[in-house]
Amino acid sequence: MTGTPVRATLVDRVRTNRRVKTLVASAIPVTWVVVLLLVPYALLLIQSFWRLRNGTLTHELTTENYRRLFSTPLYPATILYSAGVALRVTVISLVLAFPVAYVLAFKVRKHKTLLYMAVIIPLWVSYVVRAYAWKIILGQQGILNGLLMSMGIIRAPLTVLLYSTAAVVLALTHIYTPFTLMPIYAVLDAIPPALKEASQDLYANRWRTFIHVILPLSLPGVVAGCTFAFVLSMGDFLAPQLLGGNDSALMVSNLVWSLFGVAYNWPLGAAVSVVMLALTLMLLWVAGKVEARGSYGGEARSSVTEYAAPV
């Protein structure tokens, strides 16, 4: 190496040219994302403006899909209903998740990671299995009814358990509570113990320490967890289909499902999807703002702020 004169080759010059390097390195991922994500979503948007003529898809532009969407009661009603279900799921799962996150973050010494994993694992275990489990529990000949009857609490099986909004809310809460828990735990765990000690050193008892220090600092996690729980349960289609009954508990995704399936109206389905997409993006944006305002330049940044951040 030593003694030989050093000369820059063409390859070296390409190496040090940052712009060329960027181009080469990002070619594959960017192309992939553009072709398989940007284009399909864009196509969905465009498709929502196409006309369906006599059951055939044409490329004529029209706004009739959106007009139909907003004027037919079914569609706005379903969207509102889905939001209502999602809201209930979000609130209940927050109430359930927060204590568990708190206990895990502050009250567990040994096996903290193990217990955390134990709470998270159901998230990754088959979604179908978890939704289906409720079907066999809540059915008329189901396990819960059988149990209650054998204990003498009820005489005849309850029919309201299954095929109702309550069943859908229950199943969705069951599925998404761990999801809500994750960011809350992450944020709580990141709070330095010294902050709790400092608060107590400054004459705040444990309850007041919670209200004035822990709770405000947990907000980014709470916002993130609630946002994701809301968005995902609003867009869920399996739980309503398995547990909701034929018509009474249809949610937005079931509509899209049938529009792209048996009802065969792709443009309308695309329009509904676009509305869903817009609602979701708006929600994320709002959540990002709420979080940013509440943290006073604090450090915890959840995925929502990551998503809404300028870069």
Partner 1 sequence: MSAIVELHGLTKRFGTFTALDGISLAVERGEFLTVLGASGSGKTTTLRLIAGFDLATDGRILIEGADVASLPPFKRPVNTVFQQYALFPHMSVRENVGYGLRMQRVPHREIGPRVTEALEMVQLGPFAERAPRQLSGGQQQRVALARAIVNRPRVLLLDEPLGALDLKLRRAMQLELKELQSKLGITFIYVTHDQEEALTMSDRVALMRGGRIEQLGPPRELYDRPRSRYVADFIGETNLLPAVADDRDPGVVTVAGPAGPIPIRAEVRADGVRASVPLWLSVRPESLAVVAAAASPASGGDAGNSLPATVRDIVYAGSVVKLHLALADGTTIVALRSPSDPAFASGASVHVRWPASQGVLVAD
Partner 2 sequence: MPRRSDPLTAGLWLTATGVFAFIYAPLAIVILYSLHDSSIIAWPLKLGTLRWYGVLAHDTSMLAAAWASVKLAVLAVIIALAVGVPGAFVLDRYDFPGKGAFRRLVMLPLILPGIITGVALLSFFSFVGLSLSSGFPLIPGWPVVLGHGAALTSVVMTQVYARLQRFDRALEEASGDLYANEWQTFWRVTLPSIRPAVLGAALLVFTLSLDEIAVTFFLIGRQNTLPLQLWGLLRRGITPEVNAAATVIFAVSLLTIVLWSRMMRDQN
Q: Does position 193 bind partner 2 by CB under 8 A?
A: yes
Angle at 250 between CA 247 and CA 256, to 5 degrees: 120
Rounded distance between C-alpha atoms, residue 91 and residue 233, angstroms: 12
Could you say whether residue 277 binds partner 2 (CB under 8 A)? yes
Query: Residue 62 or residue 200: which is nearer to partner 2 going by CB?
Result: 200
* Cβ neighbour number for residue 105 with a 10 Å cutoff: 20
Interaction with partner 2 in 61-90: which residues (CB under 8 A)?
none
Identity of the residue, 73 or 310, whose beta carbon is nearer to partner 2 in the bound complex: 310
Q: Which of 300, 243, 294 is nearest to 128 (CA)?
A: 243
Using rule CB under 8 A, residue 40 touches partner 1: no
Residue 22 interacting partner from partner 1, partner 2, none (CB closer than 5 to 8 Å by kind): partner 2
- Rg (the chain; Cα; Å): 26
Residue of 30, 118, 128, 202 that binds partner 1 (CB under 8 A) = 202
Q: What residues between 205 and 224 interact with partner 2 by CB under 8 A?
A: 206-207
What residues contact residue 41 under an 8 Å CB cut-off, 6+ apart?
Answer: 277
For partner 2, the binding residue among 231, 249, 250, 300 (CB under 8 A) is 231
Choose between 120 and 296: whose C-beta lies nearer to partner 2. Answer: 120
Q: Which of 20, 38, 74, 282 forms a contact with partner 2 (CB under 8 A)?
A: 38
Distance of closest approach, residue 138 Cβ to partner 1, in angstroms: 43
Binding partner of residue 104 among partner 2, partner 1, none, CB cut-off 5 to 8 Å per kind: partner 2
Nearest to partner 2 of 31, 248 (CB atom): 31
Question: Minimum CB separation from partner 2 for residue 283, in Å?
Answer: 10
Question: By CB under 8 A, how many residues form the interface with partner 1?
Answer: 23
Q: Return the number of the residue (29 or 297) whose C-beta is nearest partner 2.
A: 29
Q: Comparing C-alpha atoms, which of 300, 157, 283 is closest to residue 220? A: 300
| Token pair recorded at residue 259 | 């529009």
CB of 288 to partner 1, least distance (A): 17
Q: Within a 10 A sphere around the Cβ of 131, how many other Cβ atoms?
A: 21
The residues, ordered by sequence, that sit 6+ positions from 82 with a Cβ below 8 Å of its Cβ are 234, 235, 251, 252, 253
User: By CB under 8 A, what part of segment 206-225 binds partner 1?
Assistant: 208, 212-213, 216-217
Q: Where do runs of H (alpha helix) occur along the chain?
A: 10-16, 18-33, 39-47, 64-71, 74-102, 112-124, 127-138, 143-150, 165-189, 193-201, 206-209, 215-234, 238-243, 252-260, 266-294, 303-308
Is residue 106 within 8 A of residue 187, CB to CB? The reply is: no
Positions in 105-144 near partner 2 (CB under 8 A): 107, 113, 117-122, 124-130, 132-137, 141-144
Q: Least Å distance between CB 297 and partner 2?
A: 20
Residue 173 Cβ vs partner 2, minimum distance, rounded to whole Å: 9
Helix axes 74-102, 252-260, angle to 10 degrees: 130
